[in-house]
Amino acid sequence: MSIRLSPHPSRNVQKGLLFLFSILLILGLGWIDLQMGTEVALTVFYLVPIVVATWFVNESAGVAVSLVGGVLAAYDSEVMSGLIYRDFMIGAWAILSRLVFFLVTVWLVAELHRSMESIRKMAMTDSLTGVYNTRAFFDFLQKEIERSRRYKRPISLIYLDLDNFKTINDTLGHQTGNSALAIVAGTLKNSVRLTDIVARFGGDEFAVLLPETEQEAARAIAERAQENMVREMNANHWPLTFSVGLSTCQDELCTADELIQVADDLMYKVKRSGKNGILSQIMPD
C-alpha cells in the first residue's frame, strides 16, 4: 500500500507529520483501551485518528491507520480480555466487522473530501478553459506578493490579449472562438512552469503569475508561450496573434493592483503599435 504525498516538499512534511500523529494517537488509544479492560470500550474513539489521516493526508493513510486500529481493537477485545467464542467464525466476524466499520468510515470521509475539493476547484476555475478564474488569481497574487515582500524575491506577471479574436467570432462563430480560447489556455499552461499560475480574465484576456522570477527569465517564458500559441493558431488556420505585457516587481512596495495595471498598460501599448509583440517593464520605473 502506497501513501502518496504531494509533490510540494513542505506539504509532504506536513502530511508525514499528520500521518505519524495519527499512528501515535491510535496507538495511545489502544493502550488506554487495554488499561480500561472490558468494562469500557473505546472503539468509537479510534475513528478520530482514522478521520484525521484520511482527511488531511489521503485515503491510503486512512486505510493504514484503520488496519492498525483493527489489530489493536482485536487484541484488546478478543485476546487480552480472554473472551472465548463458542465458534471460531463468530470471533472472526467480530474482528472483521469492526475493521469493515473502520474502512467504511475511511471511504465516506474520502468521498466527502473529494466532493468538497471538486466544489472548491469549480469555484476557482474558468468553466470554458479549465484554468483559474479572476477571483482565484487575485488570491494567489496577493499571497505571492506578500511572500515576495517577506523574502525580498522578485515576482513577474504576464498579461496577454488575443489579437483579432472578434474576427474569429464574427466569421467562424462563437463555438470556434470558444475552441480557440480552450486551446490557448491549454498551450499557455504547457508553456509555463508547474509553479506558475494561469488564469483567464474574461473575454480573450489571460494572465500568468510567475513567482520568484526576474525580468529576463519571465521574458523568456513569455516568448516561448507566445511562440507556442501562435504555432497552435496557425495549425488551425486561425489568424490569431498575441499582444503581451510583462511587469516585474523587484521592490517590496509593489502592490498586486500595480503589478496587473502595469502589465495591462504594456499590453495595450503593444496593441496600439501593431500587435503581436511583447513589452516588459521592471517596477518601480
Report pLDDT digits (tens) over 72-97.
Answer: 888 776 555 555 555 556 557 677 88
Pairing of strands 241-249, 197-200: unpaired
Q: What is the pLDDT of residue 111?
A: 96
Q: How far apart are CA 106 and CA 109, in angstroms?
A: 5
Amino acid (1-letter code) at residue 108:
L
Q: What is the pLDDT of residue 49?
A: 96
- Which of 146, 47, 151, 148 is closest to 106 using CA atoms? 47
Q: What is the pLDDT of residue 284?
A: 76
Helix axes 174-191 and 165-172, enclosed angle (nearest 10): 140
pTM over 0.85: no
For 134-283, which CATH superfamily applies?
Reverse transcriptase/Diguanylate cyclase domain (3.30.70.270)
Which regions of the chain are under pLDDT 50?
Answer: 2, 4-7
| Distance, first Cα to last Cα, the chain | 55
Q: What is the pLDDT of residue 13?
A: 87
Q: What is the pLDDT of residue 2?
A: 47
Domain ranges within the chain, ordered by starting residue: 9-124, 134-283
HEC string for the chain:
CCCCCCCCHHHHHHHHHHHHHHHHHHHHHHHHHHHHCCCCCCHHHHHHHHHHHHHHCCHHHHHHHHHHHHHHHHHHHHHCCCCCCCCHHHHHHHHHHHHHHHHHHHHHHHHHHHHHHHHHHHHHECCCCCCECHHHHHHHHHHHHHHHHHHCCCEEEEEEEEECHHHHHHHHCHHHHHHHHHHHHHHHHHHCCCCCEEEECCCCEEEEEEECCCHHHHHHHHHHHHHHHHHHHHHCCCCCEEEEEEEEECCCCCCHHHHHHHHHHHHHHHHHCCCCCEEEEEECC
